[in-house]
Amino acid sequence: MPRHADFFPARSSSSRRAQLVDAVFGACVWTTAAVIVAGFLWLVGDIVVHGLGALDFAFVTEAPTRFGREGGISTILVSTFLILAICLAVSVPLGLATAILLAEFSRGRDDVLSKLVRGSLDVLAGVPSIVFGLFGNAFFCIYLGLGFSIVSGGLTLACMVLPIFIRSVELGLRAVPADYRLAGAALGMSRATLLRRILLPAAAPAIAAGLMLGIGRAMAETAALVFTSGYGDRMPTSLLDSGRALSIHIYDLATNIPGGEPNAYGSALVLVSLLLVINLAASWTIDRFVGRRVRRV
């Protein structure tokens, strides 16, 4: 009859094999992370090295001249912020309302309407931006008669941002523990009060993530704006004027304007800096004014 000690070698071999698998898996994970970080640092470093020389106070405050080869990007920044403001003014309230509807009022598995809406959002999230641009040109510019304008560009970007924002907020609301809802019902809270005081603050990280993804896609978008907001680089006097977004300005300088590479790099550095500042500001604002409420509950 084999002794108990006879099983130790096999057990030791199995343990060494498991440790080897864990070590290989850990090495693969860390290598992947290192490659991603290195790629990001290389991209940002290249933009900083080539764009820092073109960046000064005059570059931000002066209007572009000679098709952007000289001058600054003041009018481009104004158009970009106006387009982004229209996009967020439309997408944030509509996206929050739709996410609340899907997460809190259509929780049944057999709800045909909610399944249809979720399926449509998932399909729209994967539609190429050029398709949104053609839709925006046909619907907003031609059918509604808005033409190549800041309004057309902002509304088109809102259509692009909505699928990502809605699904992010919906998943965040669904991740809130059911005990929160039961506690609110036990205290006699209405659904509106429960959403405003408990559920939305608890889902603040998901709201911030969806907002950051939406802002990043909106500010970096080029194809959709070419067909909707236009190429005009003058200072817009109304929302119905054509306006060139920063991403289009970078694309135009890098591909169509000889000698525009220095200003293209400077514009790219401004765009990356704006994305970083806006994301940090959005995260700080949501955590300070919304997220802290859940810590009081």
| Averages of pLDDT over each 10 residues, the chain, 297 residues | 52 75 89 92 89 84 84 90 92 91 73 82 87 92 92 93 90 86 83 84 83 83 87 86 89 86 89 85 69 51
- What is the pLDDT at residue 79? 92
264 close to 250: Cβ distance less than 8 angstroms:
yes
237 close to 28: Cβ distance less than 8 angstroms:
no
Q: Cα 6 to chain center, whole Å?
A: 59
**297: exposed, middle or buried (C-beta count within 10 Å: 0-12, 13-18, 19+)?**
exposed
**Token digits of residue 63:** 């209007």
Q: Angle at Cα 213 formed by Cα 242 and Cα 273, nearest 5°? A: 70
Q: Angle at Cα 150 formed by Cα 146 and Cα 154, nearest 5°? A: 95
150 close to 236: Cβ distance less than 8 angstroms:
yes
- Please state the φ and ψ torsions of residue 64, each to the nearest 5 degrees: -70, 145
- What is the pLDDT at residue 2? 54
**Token digits of residue 84:** 């982004």
- What is the pLDDT at residue 76? 92
pTM attached to this predicted model: 0.83
| Beta strands 70-71; 64-65: pairing state | antiparallel
214 close to 91: Cβ distance less than 8 angstroms:
yes
How far apart CA 131 and CA 167 sit, in angstroms, is: 20
Q: Is 71 helix (H, G, I), strand (E, B) or coil?
A: strand
How far apart CA 235 and CA 283 sit, in angstroms, is: 31
Q: Residue for token digits 């694309």?
A: 251
- What is the pLDDT at residue 90? 93
Q: Residue for token digits 């096999």?
A: 10
DSSP state of 164: H
- What is the pLDDT at residue 295? 52
195 close to 97: Cβ distance less than 8 angstroms:
no
- Please state the φ and ψ torsions of residue 70, each to the nearest 5 degrees: -125, 175
**Token digits of residue 240:** 């119905």
Beta carbons within 10 angstroms of residue 296's beta carbon: 7
For the domain spanning 58-296, the CATH number is 1.10.3720.10
